[in-house]
Structure 1
Amino acid sequence: MKIQWLGHSAFHIETAKAKILIDPFFTGNPSFREEGRKDAAAGLTHILLTHGHGDHVGDTIALARETGATVVANADLAAWLGSKGVSALEMGNTGGTIHLDGFSTTFVNALHSSAQITEDGVSHALGSANGLVLHFDDEPTLYHMGDTDIFSDMALIQELHQPEIGLVPIGDRFTMGGAVAALACQRYFKFGTVLPCHYGSFGIIDQTPDLFIAGMDGAKTKVEAPAVAALLTL
């Protein structure tokens, strides 16, 4: 499995059977390198969304039109995207699993909100915020937590799915901060590798992963905090 962090909560995941973008927030993302857009879109098969905020839906509509990639999202968000012209959609909801070519996606809880204010100034609720657990045919199980605080039912996610790779929000203010995120990883999970995200983009959230890395000190879990667009093979 090849993984690239593309800034904020956006990730590119490549396996033998799929090329996946999760929360592809490119336009307006201060951390994203625009020259990387072509590579991120090349051969794209799926776009997975944790929730409906603009810094996670991001460039989904444009990318779906350009590439024909299938978009996976909660039912309310998927219906809204359909109204915007996205045609290849797979919709689910909390607790449900969608089986795709080479992998499956399970929607799990996240403690957050999910809405967008459209051009007419109206706020539209776009379903529940979720984390996404990806089970692959021949690759490690991956859990993108989405935007969330710590919650004790993370223990059930570990029991049910046993994720080996964690993509963990650490930026504070809108999600758990680094110290709490480290507590969540150590108390509830047995990750082999974790990658922090949702930091370093906007000035009002934490700019470095230092608190998270310090909180993970002594843990058996390997912490990877790559530069934006650096390629990891896990």
Structure 2
Amino acid sequence: MKITWLGHSAFHLETATAKILIDPFFTGNPAFDEATRKDAAAGLTHILLTHGHGDHVGDTIKLAQETGATVLANADLAAWLGKKGVSKLDMGNTGGTVHFDGFSATFTQALHSSAQVTEDGTSHSLGSANGLVLHFEDEPTVYHMGDTDIFSDMALIRELHEPEIGLMPIGDRFTMGGAVAALACQRYFGFETVIPCHYASFPIVDQTADKFVAGMEGAQAKVAVATVGKGLSF
């Protein structure tokens, strides 16, 4: 498996059977390297969304129309995307699992919100905020937490899914900050590797992963502070 951070909470996962984008926020993301856009879209099979905020839905509509990739989102967000011209949609909701060729995706709880305000000033509720646990055949299990604070039922997510790789928001203000994210890792999970995200993208979130790295000192899990556009192999 190859995992590439594309800035903010956007990730590209490549396995033997799938090429997946999670929360593909490209346009307007100052941390995203536009030179990698072509590579991120090439051969794309799936787009997975944790919730409906613009910095996570991102370029989903355009990418889905250009590539024919299947989009997975919660039921409310999927219905909204269908009205926006996305034709290949799969939907689920908290606790549910959707099976694809070579992997499955389970919607977990996240402590966050999920809505968008359209050009006419109308606020559209787009279902629950979620995390996604991805189980692969012969590949590590990956947990993208979406946007969330710490919550004690993270212990149940570990018990149910035993994720080996965590993609964890650490930037504070809209999600848990680095110190709290480190506490979540150490108290509730047994990750082999954690890749921090949702930082260094906008001035009002933390610009480095330093607080998280400091909080993970002595932890069992390896912290992989990724470089945007540079893949990590597992």
Q: TM-score, normalised by structure 2?
A: 1.00
Gaps of 5+ in 2: none
For 1:92 and 1:117, the matched residues in 2 are separated by: 23
Gaps of 5+ in 1: none
Three-state SS of the structure 1 residue aligned to 2:17 is: coil
Q: Which residue pairs with 2:173 in the alignment?
A: 173
For 1:37 and 1:90, the matched residues in 2 are separated by: 24
Q: Which residue pairs with 1:50 in the alignment?
A: 50
Q: What are the superposed Cα offsets for residues 169-188 of structure 1, whole Å, 9 maximum, x if unpaired? A: 00000000000000000000
For 1:26 and 1:229, the matched residues in 2 are separated by: 12
Q: TM-score, normalised by structure 1?
A: 1.00
- Report the CA distance between 1:37 and its aligned residue: 0.6
- Report the CA distance between 1:35 and its aligned residue: 1.2
Matches within 5 A, 1:112-131: 112-131=112-131
Deviates more, 1:22-31 or 1:219-228: 219-228
Partner letter of residue 92 of structure 2?
G
Q: Which residue pairs with 1:200 in the alignment?
A: 200
Q: Which residue pairs with 2:31 in the alignment?
A: 31
Partner letter of residue 98 of structure 2?
I
Partner letter of residue 173 of structure 1?
R
Three-state SS of the structure 2 residue aligned to 1:155 is: helix
Matches within 5 A, 1:136-147: 136-147=136-147
- Report the CA distance between 1:11 and its aligned residue: 0.1
Q: Which residue pairs with 2:223 in the alignment?
A: 223
Q: What value does the CA root-mean-square deviation take over the aligned residues?
A: 0.4
Matches within 5 A, 1:41-120: 41-120=41-120
Q: What is the aligned length?
A: 234
Report percent identity of matched pairs: 80
Q: What are the superposed Cα offsets for residues 134-180 of structure 1, whole Å, 9 maximum, x if unpaired? A: 00011000000000000000000000000000000000000000000
Q: What are the superposed Cα offsets for residues 6-49 of structure 1, whole Å, 9 maximum, x if unpaired? A: 00000000000000000000000000011111000000000000
Three-state SS of the structure 2 residue aligned to 1:134 is: strand
Q: What are the superposed Cα offsets for residues 101-148 of structure 1, whole Å, 9 maximum, x if unpaired? A: 100000000000000001111000000000000000110000000000
Q: What are the superposed Cα offsets for residues 176-208 of structure 1, whole Å, 9 maximum, x if unpaired? A: 000000000000000000000000000000000
For 1:65 and 1:7, the matched residues in 2 are separated by: 22
Three-state SS of the structure 2 residue aligned to 1:228 is: coil
- Report the CA distance between 1:210 and its aligned residue: 0.2
Partner letter of residue 36 of structure 1?
T
Q: What are the superposed Cα offsets for residues 195-228 of structure 1, whole Å, 9 maximum, x if unpaired? A: 0000000000000000000000001101000111
Three-state SS of the structure 1 residue aligned to 2:166 is: strand
